[in-house]
Amino acid sequence: MKRLFTTLFTLLALSAVAQNSGGIDAAMLESIRTGYKGTAAERAVKNALATNSISSLAVNGDNLAMCDTEFKYRVKTKGITDQKSSGRCWLFTGLNVLRAKMIAQHDLKEFEFSQNYLSFYDLLEKSNLFLQGIIDTRALPLDDRKVEWLLKNPIGDGGQFTGVSNLVMKYGAVPSSAMPETYQSNNTRDMRMILSLKLREAALALREAKKSELVTLKTQALTEIYGILVKCLGVPPTEFVWTRYNSKGEKVSTQTYTPKSFYDQYVGKDLEQGYVMLMNDPTREYGKVYEIDYDRHLYDGENWLYINLPIERIKEIAIASIKDNTAMYFSCDVGKFFDRKKGVLDIANLDYASLFDTQFPMDKKQRVSTFASGSSHAMTLIAVDMDESGKTTKWMVENSWGASSGYRGNLIMTDQWFDQYMFRLVAERQYVPADVLKLLEQKPIMLPAWDPMFAPEE
């Protein structure tokens, strides 16, 4: 009788829910409450969650052992960088790709480019990009979508590969000794806040100014921004002395360089023409070229432009590059199923489904479409492992979180994780098949700046 009454009550409650106007009324709340059974197993999980993190309780006990760390193919690299509390992963990654090439070509014992040098010009150029964007849209109302996006995103230290290519080709590069890191370059939050305030102040002035005053007002604003950057990051060198040592520690030469002459002598590659940007975005048609408006670092630079490819085509290109000892710019959704202690990205690391007695059925396309996943962090792809049949089994990236993080400063990802959470790859043209390069002849499909897939990598 009691069971019959409960069943009848539940049916009545569900009927009431079906007629609900949209809010949680008493009948719906009662239905929700009765849906939770409070079994012994559920109480045990509830008790555990009261004093432990979800991620620690979701650890898969069957996957505790460290994965195999040997790789069939691996790019030769030296040293691990550390971006500290800054959003400059894109810059560290791009320069790490160039560093590996420079060390190998010139037989260096160790080397690191100055990230601070290019950070200075990145923030100056982004300031100009914002201010000129304000000028270009000054006839639009404040609540226009593009104006609103600009004012919400005046400046940041995140970015992507076109920032590396445009900045290096315009300003060159210098060794870390020529412009070392400062506290502010390693801890950028307060500096970004100050810069954002000044840029928003300037934006209001530009929107209200006469046309004849615009260039003068923008120049004045950029001069003030330049002064703030000098105080925070130092003065970028226009000339410096650098001593080169070979891999044995023997002195090779001491010369005076400009940033441009240094880059030309030791790297010399045309970054704007020599690389192709690839994306695996299952929400959009493959085989098409896409461009993202305002997704650039210089006003007169290049927007992020990429070819959207199935994951297997991207793997094909990545393998060819790694086999030829060439590292690549790579980005992914790094926070998913991440074992920080081991430095391993594996969908078997965490078992949320068992912990909460539920399922998480969304695939990659559905996760991207619902904002559950997207590219968040850039690293340097340096290794791939394969089984006897030639199938990829795992990958490794050089990270920029210091030598003590992850696996000796690197992260290892299973092939299954790679499929689900890898998004972007930048490869040299020589490793990209002809049929893929031909796709670049298409007119790009323009996407808006606020597209969620193209938030800056940090």
Q: Considering only CA atoms, which of 45, 65, 68 is closest in space to residue 339?
A: 65
Spatial neighbors of 396 by CB under 8 A, at least 6 apart, are 71, 74, 381, 382, 383, 384, 407, 410, 411, 412, 413
User: Encoding tokens for residue 354?
Assistant: 């068992």
φ and ψ at residue 71, rounded to 5 degrees: -130, 140
Q: Which listed residue (67, 89, 232, 332) is catalytic?
A: 89
Q: Which listed residue (96, 128, 308, 399) is catalytic?
A: 399
Distance of CA 27 to the CA centre of its chain: 46
DSSP 111-161: --B-HHHHHHHHHHHHHHHHHHHHHHTTTS-TTSHHHHHHHH-S--S-B-H
Spatial neighbors of 203 by CB under 8 A, at least 6 apart, are 130, 131, 134, 150, 151, 154
Note whether 111 and 99 are within 8 A (CB): yes
**Measured over all CA atoms, what is the biggest interatomic distance in the chain, rounded to whole angstroms?**
95
β-strands 392-398, 289-292: how paired? unpaired
φ and ψ at residue 306, rounded to 5 degrees: -140, 160
Q: Considering only CA atoms, which of 390, 382, 436 is closest in space to residue 410?
A: 382
Residue 89 annotated to the active site: yes
Q: Report the first-to-last Cα separation within the chain, whole angstroms.
A: 61
Q: Find residue 74's DSSP bridge partners.
A: 383
Strands annotated E in 118-266: 240-245, 251-257
DSSP H stretches of helix in 324-391: 352-356, 364-369
Q: Residue type at 198?
A: K
Q: Which listed residue (67, 116, 377, 410) is catalytic?
A: 377
Residues in the chain: 458
With H, G, I as helix, E, B as strand and everything else as coil, classify residue 327.
coil
Q: Residue type at 171?
A: Y
How far are the Cα atoms of 71, 315, 341 from residue 222, in angstroms, in the given order?
Answer: 48, 43, 43
Q: Considering only CA atoms, which of 374, 448, 377 is closest in space to residue 159?
A: 377
Active site (catalytic) residues: 89, 377, 399
